[in-house]
């Protein structure tokens, strides 16, 4: 089993042990970065082709301006790649021996941290939709809890079926410790 | 005109520096692992500072007077041509 003692997150308890950490699947991260990567390829192609098509831009005083534009585009691309990466990679789901913690990066300045205790879990579902998710084995895991709290969703994580099984086992153990069953947690009709 | 260009560039430069600092802060503050956070910030900051420095150097190398003169003569080309 992977040693995850180095993992730190807000609100971690002293004796809490991290069992697993899930980020979005690499393909999902790549699909968000695709536009920036595509633009950078176009841009690099343009840098090579443009001087051939317009020889005037390599002559003074245009050449300095052309270099400045090239550099500015690269700078913007570098920053935008990291901004997109932060937005996607920093969505994280942490399973500990006590609870599930979901840290969601909504945008650059919005971050939501929510947690779920195992004994409140009623139902866990894994969903793999589409050809590529089926081939690459990634999808969503939906955790339904008792009461009015909203569903907990693991978005586009790798091996959703395995994650579902892990959560089910931990939920079962959590319920045994709390002395409850899924039925007794459910609100009365 | 050149004063306005310099002022606009100053705003752009400060904006980019702020965004770069924010990216570093974000990675260091919210990464799950400290080691990975420092490695990522090192990669980001190295390339970012290189691009930012070369950006400033290339900006101050531009001969704005000559560039503006050549672009204004280019834009008035049709009227000059019609004068023949």
Let me know whether A118 and A167 are in one domain.
yes
Domain of A110, in residue numbers: 93-185
Asked whether residue A97 falls in the same domain as residue A177, the answer is yes
pLDDT value of position A181 = 57
CA A10 to chain CA centroid, nearest Å: 17
Q: What is the dihedral of CA B25, B27, B31, B36, to 10 degrees?
A: -120
Residues 6+ apart with CB under 8 A from B9: B59
Residues A109 and A161 in one domain: yes
Do A113 and A164 lie in a common domain? yes
Please indicate, yes or no, whether residues A64 and A113 belong to a single structural domain of this protein: no
CATH at A114:
2.30.29
Q: Would you say residue A2 lies in a domain?
A: no
Chain A residues with beta carbon closer than 8 angstroms to that of B62: 61, 64-65, 68
In a domain, A48, yes or no: yes
> Would you say residue A136 lies in a domain?
yes
- DSSP letter, residue A98: S
Within this chain, do residues A75 and A135 fall inside the same structural domain, yes or no?
A: no
Is the CB of A75 less than 8 angstroms away from the CB of B19?
no
A98, A180: one domain = yes
For residue range A79-99, what is the model confidence (pLDDT) as tens digits? 999 999 988 888 899 999 888
* Residue A171 sits in the same domain as residue A140: yes
Q: Residues 6 or more apart from B18 whose CB is under 8 A from it?
A: none
A25: nearest Cα among A115, A154, A187, A117: A154
User: What proportions of chain A, in percent to the nearest 5, are helix, strand and coil?
Assistant: 50, 25, 25
Indicate if A111 and A75 belong to the same structural domain: no
Q: How confident is the model at residue A164 (pLDDT cuts 50, 70, 90)?
A: very high
Count of domains forming chain A: 2
Query: Around B79, how many Cα atoms within 13 Å sit in the side-chain half-sphere?
Result: 5
Taking contacts as CB-CB distances below 8 angstroms, the residues of chain B near A94 are: 32
B-chain residues near A111 (CB < 8 A): 30
Confidence of residue A174 (pLDDT cuts 50, 70, 90): confident
Q: A77 with A100, same domain?
A: no
B61 vs A: CB within 8 A: yes
Residue located via tokens 């789901």? A93
Among A38, A54, A87, identify where a domain stops. Answer: A87
Q: Per-residue pLDDT tens for B4-51?
A: 989 999 999 999 999 999 999 999 988 888 888 999 999 999 999 999
**Are A124 and A167 in the same domain?**
yes
Cα dihedral A93→A96→A101→A107 (10° resolution): -40
**CB-side exposure of A79: number of CA atoms within 13 Å?**
22
> In this model, does residue A150 exceed pLDDT 80?
no
Residues A83 and A98 in one domain: no
* Residues A164-167: contacts with CB under 8 Å, at least 24 apart: A164/A124, A164/A125, A164/A126, A166/A19, A166/A20, A166/A95, A167/A95, A167/A100, A167/A121, A167/A124, A167/A141, A167/A143
Q: Is B58 on the interface with A (CB under 8 A)?
A: yes
């Amino acid at each position: 089993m992977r040693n995850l003692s180095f993992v730190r997150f807000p609100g971690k308890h002293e004796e809490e042990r991290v069992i697993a950490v899930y980020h979005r699947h690499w393909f999902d991260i790549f699909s968000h970065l695709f536009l920036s990567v595509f633009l950078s390829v176009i841009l690099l192609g343009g840098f090579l082709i443009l001087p051939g098509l317009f020889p005037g831009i390599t002559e003074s005083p245009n050449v300095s301006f052309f270099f400045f534009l090239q550099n500015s585009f690269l700078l913007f691309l570098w920053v935008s790649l990291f901004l997109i990466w932060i937005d996607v990679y920093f969505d994280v789901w942490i399973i500990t021996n006590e609870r599930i913690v979901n840290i969601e990066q909504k945008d650059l300045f919005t971050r939501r941290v929510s947690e779920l205790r195992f004994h409140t879990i009623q139902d866990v579902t894994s969903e793999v939709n589409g050809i590529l998710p089926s081939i690459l084995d990634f999808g969503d895991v939906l955790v339904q809890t008792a009461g009015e709290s909203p569903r907990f969703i693991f978005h586009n994580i790798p091996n959703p079926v395995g994650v579902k099984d892990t959560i089910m086992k931990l939920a079962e153990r959590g319920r045994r410790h709390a002395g409850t069953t899924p039925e007794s947690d459910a609100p009365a009709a | 005109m050149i004063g306005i260009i310099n002022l606009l560039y100053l705003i752009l430069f400060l904006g980019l520096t702020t965004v770069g600092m924010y990216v570093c802060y974000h990675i260091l503050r919210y990464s799950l692992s400290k080691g990975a956070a420092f490695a990522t910030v090192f990669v980001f900051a190295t390339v970012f500072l290189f691009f930012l420095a070369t950006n400033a150097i290339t900006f101050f190398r531009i001969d704005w007077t000559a560039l503006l003169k050549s672009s204004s003569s280019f834009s008035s080309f049709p009227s000059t041509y019609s004068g023949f």
